[in-house]
């Protein structure tokens, strides 16, 4: 991705997934407390770089552990408050975090790949334009979410299998957030 090619400026919004992109994804479990939250290498530096590129940074995250009763909304909000503070202390910023507590089986419009969180973000930020937004995530649901709203999509993964299977869903692929941040 070349910012000159896309002409990314402060009018653009960056949407980021959380687990597997910002923090280490827990195998067969959910990050339930701040003590379990671990930033991936280079993420804090990336967030500082993104602050200088994008006008707005929004995190969108499916958190069905709440729907399963494994953690509460209060637990998730506490994790997000700590995460935002750490990112801010490192020189980055997060303008908003939206999450979906619903089970996948519920079929909620708020759960990615459905676009409820994007619509909620636009309601909060009326000047937000999806055609001037980038969705960076590590799953197919993140990519579909981005495409359904007209965003550019960036797969954050060292595994190129998804990109080969779903080339129309994925505009760019980078092994991690820091590589992506240096490419724009």
Structure confidence at residue 94 (pLDDT): 98
The pLDDT of 5-29, averaged and rounded, is 92
DSSP state, 23? B
For 34, counting Cβ atoms within 10 Å of its Cβ (0-12 exposed, 13-18 middle, 19+ buried), the class is middle
- Per DSSP, which regions of 75-144 are E strands? 96-100, 133-137
> Is residue 2 over pLDDT 60?
no
> Is residue 4 over pLDDT 80?
no
The pLDDT of 67-81, averaged and rounded, is 97
Q: How many Cα atoms occupy the beta-carbon half-sphere of 105 within 13 Å?
A: 3
> Is residue 145 over pLDDT 80?
yes
Structure confidence at residue 5 (pLDDT): 61
> Is residue 73 over pLDDT 70?
yes
Structure confidence at residue 170 (pLDDT): 96
The pLDDT of 140-153, averaged and rounded, is 98
Say what angle helices 43-51 and 73-89 make with each other, to 10 degrees: 70
Domains of the chain: 3-183 (3.40.50.1000)
- Going by their DSSP bridges, the two strands 13-16 and 96-100 should be labelled as unpaired
- Tell me the pLDDT of the chain averaged across its residues: 95
> Is residue 99 over pLDDT 70?
yes
> Is residue 97 over pLDDT 90?
yes
Could you give the CA distance from residue 123 to residue 100 in angstroms, rounded to a whole number? Answer: 16
Residue-wise pLDDT for 18-54, tens only, equals 999 999 999 889 999 999 999 999 999 999 999 999 9
List active site positions.
Answer: 17, 19
The pLDDT of 72-95, averaged and rounded, is 98
């Amino acid at each position: 991705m070349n910012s000159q090619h896309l002409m990314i400026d402060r009018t653009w919004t960056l949407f980021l997934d959380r687990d597997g992109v910002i923090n280490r994804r827990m195998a067969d479990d959910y990050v339930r407390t701040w003590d379990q939250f671990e930033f991936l290498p280079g993420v804090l530096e990336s967030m500082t770089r993104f602050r200088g590129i994008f006008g707005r940074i929004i995190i969108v995250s499916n958190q069905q552990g709440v729907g399963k009763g494994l953690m509460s909304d209060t637990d998730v909000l506490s994790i997000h408050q700590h995460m935002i503070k750490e990112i801010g202390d490192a020189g980055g910023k997060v303008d908003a975090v939206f999450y979906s507590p619903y089970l996948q089986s519920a079929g909620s419009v708020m759960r990615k790949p459905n676009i409820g969180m994007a619509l909620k973000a636009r309601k909060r930020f009326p000047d937000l334009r999806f055609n001037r937004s980038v969705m960076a995530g590590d799953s197919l649901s993140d990519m579909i979410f981005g495409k359904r709203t007209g965003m550019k999509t960036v797969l954050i993964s060292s595994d190129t299998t998804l990109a080969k299977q779903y080339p129309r869903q994925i505009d760019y692929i980078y092994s991690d957030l820091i590589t992506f941040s240096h490419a724009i």
